[in-house]
Amino acid sequence: MDENGGLKKREHVCSKTRCSVFIAFLVASCVVVLCVVTFEVDDLRMKIQYDVSGLAWWKTSIIYQVYPRSFKDSNGDGVGDLRGITQKLDYLADLGIGAIWISPFYTSPMRDFGYDISNYTQVDPTFGTMDDFDNLLKEARKRGLKIIVDFVPNHTSNESMWFQESRKGPNNSYSDYYVWKDGVILPNGSRGPPNNWLSVFGGSAWTFDPERGQYYYHAFLKSQADINFYSPHVLQELKTVLRFWLDRGVSGFRLDALKFLFESKDVTLNEALLPNQFEWNDDGPHNLTTSFPQINDVIKDWRSLLDEYTSYDKEPRFMAEESYGLTAEMRNAHYKSGAMPFNFALLNMNSTCGGTCVMRLINKGLHELADDAWPNFQVGNHDNSRVASRVGVARSGAVTMLLLTLPGTPTSYYGDEIGMQDVFYTFQETRDPAGIHFGKDGYEGRSRDPERSPMQWSGTTNAGFSSGTPWLHVHENFTKTNVKDQNSDTVSMLNLYRTLAKIRKYPSFQNSQLQYAVTNDNVVSYVRMALGWTKYLVLINFGPSTSTDDYSKSPVDSTSGIIVATTNNFNLGDFRTGQTISLVNVRLHPGQGLVVTVYYQGR
């Protein structure tokens, strides 16, 4: 093999400077893949290009989540927008991702910053125009990037036209679009909600509407009225929305809050709440308001629609879902129905989660899957504390290495590629309705503003995010942690990300298999390989202390290898890319990680 981790000459021998070799091999996911390999031979330095044509594009891509309010402001109003995303497409393409998932940019009163949609088929002026979106699609396509959009089917804004028509009463074509119920008469003679169901944001999930004279159900804020999925009119409307965006050219959808789509028709039933439970608890027995089996029928219907478009142009359409707390049985049922539930196991990583702990979280993401289900991992998103704040700055590069070398489809959150951290905001600075709802004493544990701070592009004013006043102020570390500075630093987090993004395109990383090597309280390590291709060893120290271990035994079965990526442990300098190392005794500091191509024994 070459010093950069290329193919060994003994694997593919070519008598000319350039040649093309067509290889059919069986990947571990039991899919026969035709691989087209073109390489140059110059003192065993081989440049590899290939097309893994047997896998859908989303199985070989990194998905990068953009929270549009915070990514890039193009017009100086302090809020990120669609034109800002377009301006940064070259950066995203260079990063090595394959698809951009954009959080909601639809017309909305912004009671939940876009997750309270008033019109599914319009762009909110805050983010630009439909022409801006179409241009974003066109420019992304030029760079080989797919666009995935958020779809929020569970609820709409109570300011939407649908809701305003529905509240007029039963003699209306929109009357059954929402969950309307009569209240009950309380012992004191006053009127109360139909039952004890709770909102995720605290308090009753029912709000009385004086115009209709009934209560409407809302799993989230009272400004987010739940859609009635038992209504065939609603199901047809939502398919029309999906068609609208598919016709514009999006490559898929991320389905928000999917487990909340259905609730019991019998509203006389109370949920068995936990003792003294006055607000939503995800561990609570919410059997009357979440995870109904009918969700699978909805997924199948939407999958059929997406497949209809795939049949036209042969491009697979992607559909993922957000559903926290699914059992393995539920997760696999959703997979079988046609949606990929995002795996949130790694969101539980923190500074005390060492090698064995990380292995357990990986296993939760892999071993609970049905054989034909494709894995995926997420380490951060718009609803959870940033990686660098959860695990510590010194381990954030290690988490990046973990995410981009695990099997399946990884999803990155904007800014994690440079190690952005949570930002502290006072209650007066807080913008997130979830945080404000819980008041000055409770907002810190509920606000999602800390992980939604503006992207840190440079060390200039407002981190290069906006020429105006940002909707949230940037982190104070922006002069040291930013894209511009890391771009020119060869051992930066950003360039580590780029290196790993290239490595994970190798055939050995394009399957769903993983074999553990050494794992202990400090280290987790594993082998990634595909039949006929170079074997790779990934070894990372997530523990509290330095660890020296022998990695040469099975499944590595080699005493040496070449480093193709290193976290550098932030310039400790123990290892360098291209260095040949012994695998018998490798000494890793906390937060340090390596990707190594493995020599065949006896070379």
Residues annotated as catalytic are 256, 322
Taking phi first (over 0 means left), then psi (-120 to 50 degrees means alpha), and beta for anything else, what does residue 337 get?
alpha
Task: Check whether the bond before 293 is cis (ω within 30° of 0).
Answer: no
Instruction: Give burial (CB, 10 Å; 0-12/13-18/19+) of 367.
Output: exposed
Tokens matching residue 221: 């804020």
Distance CA 68, CA 81 (A): 6
Query: Where do the H-state alpha helices sit in 43-110?
Result: 82-87, 89-95
Q: Is 91 helix (H, G, I), strand (E, B) or coil?
A: helix
Q: Tell me the DSSP string of 291-303.
A: --THHHHHHHHHH
How many residues make up the chain in this entry? 603
Using alpha carbons, select from 142, 109, 135 the residue that is nearest to residue 124.
Answer: 109
* Longest alpha-carbon distance in the chain: 92
Q: Give the per-residue SS3 of 143-160.
A: CCCEEEEEECCCEEECCC
Distance CA 475, CA 494 (A): 18
What are the two backbone dihedrals, phi and then psi, of residue 216, each rounded to the nearest 5 degrees? -115, 150
Distance CA 478, CA 498 (A): 21
Query: Where do the H-state alpha helices sit in 472-586?
Result: 483-487, 493-503
Cβ contact 115:201 at 8 Å: no
Q: CA–CA distance from 495 to each of 178, 475, 519 (Å)?
A: 49, 21, 27
Cβ contact 463:456 at 8 Å: yes
Residue whose token pair is 């381990």: 395
Q: Tell me the DSSP string of 433-479.
A: HHHHHTHHHHGGGT--GGGGPPP---SSGGGGS-SS--SSPPPGGGG
Give Rg (Cα) of the chain.
Answer: 25
Distance CA 322, CA 263 (A): 17
Using alpha carbons, select from 457, 601, 598, 459 the residue that is nearest to residue 533.
Answer: 598
Distance CA 508, CA 28 (A): 10
Q: Beta partners for 150? A: 254
